[in-house]
A and B are shown apart, each in its own frame.
Chain A
Amino acid sequence: MPIPIITTILLVFSLLASGAWVALSLMGVGISSLSLFRSIPVDKILAQTTWNGLASPELVALPLFILMAELLMRSRFIDGLFSALEPWVRKLPGGLMHINILGCTFFALISGSSAATTSAVGKITVKELEQRGYDRSMAMGSLAGAGTLGFLIPPSIIMIIYGVLSQTSVLKLFAAGLIPGILLALLLMSYIAVHAMIKQRKQSDKLDQQETKATTSVSIWYERFSQLPALIPFFVLMGVLLTSLYGGFASPSEAASIGVGVTLIIMAIERSLTWSGLKAACIGTAKTASMLGLIIAAAAFLSTAMGFLGLPQAISSAVNALDLSPMQLIALLVVSYIILGCFLEGMSLIVMTLPIVLPIIISAGYDKIWFGVFLIIVVEMAQISPPVGMNLYVIQGLTGESLGKIARSVAPFFVLMVLFVFILAMFPQLATFLPSLM
């Protein structure tokens, strides 16, 4: 392997391991390798690619969806979601544990962030499930697993980033994530149900049975429908977002603005809109947007630097020389991403690997939109794999449990996600069907 490539790979690992912040580390890799191996004005390239990397109009959707999530987390929306969903899942095997999955699925439909989804749903469900005597480990695991749906189910912040970096339609990516997102949610719910049926004598099922006996079929149906109005804000917001996106009224960033506007109106109606809440939401948005924006700028520069060094072509040739079948290639990628995901946060994983992996995937005959969905599921796995898993830290903040215990409770859901990636590889239509209709 040529010296520039070996040096660049070593620089990536040593700068990240040094503890320097991811965005600056990625810029450092590009600056050092270009200064060492190419006689070009590195500062000019850095400034220009930073500028161009952030100038994309599609990227404006990113801070707006973050703002929407920040506002939603400060609304009473999630309380209504819990009370409306609870009567519907009470009789299922696993009972209220399904609320973690359904709550995250519903919240993911209006929020693009995995951490925001986990945090918002977890704030309500962790306490409720514990009070009702449900298995704490299962509650943490299901929340961490389902929280990742925030990335897969549209709108999704990470899909916007993938779309911009890979020059793929964000709208089509949003559509591509819907079916896999719903299927993954069903897979997680099936696991909870099967787990509950196997451990029938455990406490949660006793509680379910007690709750079931205590409620007659007439009163349960009354309760189910009487609680549904609590979902009105959700349906309004989701309806507005989907109509504006797919009805051709607005671009993704405009749809996000509409989402912000509708969220503010909903909060004003439910009297949860306060000046301090708005200020906190703005600061929270600025923080997340700054963190993500700097990483995107760094990724744009690193991608350019790698292009100058010929790194993507070299690695692509090396992988092609292995003569792997498409499924073997996917297996290799899954293993590589799982290993990298243990040390890198999901977002960094995408921006660092995309310039190298995308050409390989395209030459293997895979679709860019399909690969976007694949990558997002793999990134979801990185979100729940220790020691660097954002969702694990969110749950640690909610429960105070040790990271090791949370990671063990998440393990079955992690395995399910690996399984789902292979299902997606075998049936790519799951991701490509909806975009093909557009």
Chain B
Amino acid sequence: MWHYITVFVDRFSLLLAYLAGASILCIALMQLLEIMLRNVFNISLPFVWEYASYLHMGAVFLAAGYTLRVGGHIRVTLLQKIHPRAFECMATTVALCISAFLSVALVKFAYNYGLSGRTSGTVNDVPLVYPAAFVAFGALMLTLQLFLRLVASIIGQPVELTDSTINATQ
């Protein structure tokens, strides 16, 4: 059961990380198109800079869970050698509490945007609930990965994906 849960969450996190990577590539392509149209045809695409910001914000949070799973987030590990397992449990518990607080704050933030129908107020008038929802969802995935990491460290399972397990996930 544990195996199926982690495999499912890992695959979903990987999918979100690909989505984040594709979003960044999409920013580059959108901006290239904008530069070309602006300099050659004197046409500007007013949505590019605004959508680029939302795509970046979304990418940061959507990839957060996978980044944690592959050890991509940085931390201070000076005390790790004293008792690795206790260190892992303590670090993950602290991080889980903070991440849960952040997730709740971002979900409420997106919900309020949805409730008020607030838009960006630019020429594009983007309803802010959409980008805010992606950001909140990414934060929730990070919290879920932290929770699974805590369980894994308590039951003595590997907490991060190795090269071989990353390939298997892909």
Contact = CB atoms under 8 A, between A and B. Distances in A.
A63 B76 contact: no
B56 A18 contact: no
B28 interface: yes
A31 B98 contact: yes
Contact of A55 (B18, B57, B62, B95): B57
B28 A297 contact: no
B59 A290 contact: yes
Do most interface residues of chain A lie in helix, strand or loop, or is the interface mixed?
A: helix
Contacts of A22: 73-76
Nearest to A284: B21
A47 interface: yes
Contact of A258 (B21, B32, B95, B108): B32
Contacts of A63: 24, 27, 56, 59
A288 B72 contact: yes
A27 B13 CA distance: 23
Interface in B26-63: 27-29, 31-32, 34-35, 39, 49, 52-53, 56-57, 59-63
Contacts of A380: none
B70 interface: yes
A48 B72 contact: no
A171 B102 CA distance: 33
B101 interface: yes
B56 A60 contact: yes
A44 B80 CA distance: 34
B95 to A, nearest CB: 4
A9 to B, nearest CB: 16
B94 interface: yes
Do most interface residues of chain B lie in helix, strand or loop, or is the interface mixed?
A: helix
B21 A282 contact: yes
Contacts, number: 200
Contacts of B79: 17, 19
Interface in A18-64: 18-25, 27-28, 31, 43-44, 46-48, 50-51, 54-57, 59-60, 62-64
A213 to B, nearest CB: 46
B7 interface: no
Contact of B17 (A25, A60, A287, A343): A287
Interface string A274-313: 0000010111011111110111010000000000000000
Interface in B52-93: 52-53, 56-57, 59-64, 66-68, 70, 72-80, 87-88, 90-92
A43 B70 contact: no
Interface in B135-159: 135
A291 B52 CA distance: 18
Nearest to A276: B170
B59 A289 contact: yes
Given A17-B79, A46-B102, A293-B56, A285 B94 contact: no
A47 B109 contact: yes
Interface stretch (A246-254, A359-367, A398-406): A246-254
A21 B73 contact: yes
A266 interface: no
Q: Which of A24, A57, A59, A293: most chain B CB closer than 10 A?
A: A24
B106 A60 contact: no
Nearest to B34: A254
Interface string B99-114: 1011011101100000
A257 interface: yes
A257 B34 CA distance: 10
A15 interface: yes
B68 to A, nearest CB: 7
Given A258-B35, A289-B24, 12 more contacts: A24-B99, A48-B109, A57-B52, A63-B56, A67-B28, A253-B27, A257-B28, A286-B59, A287-B17, A291-B74, A294-B64, A345-B74
14 contacts: A17-B78, A19-B91, A21-B68, A22-B74, A24-B95, A25-B98, A47-B105, A50-B106, A260-B32, A282-B21, A287-B66, A295-B74, A297-B60, A344-B76
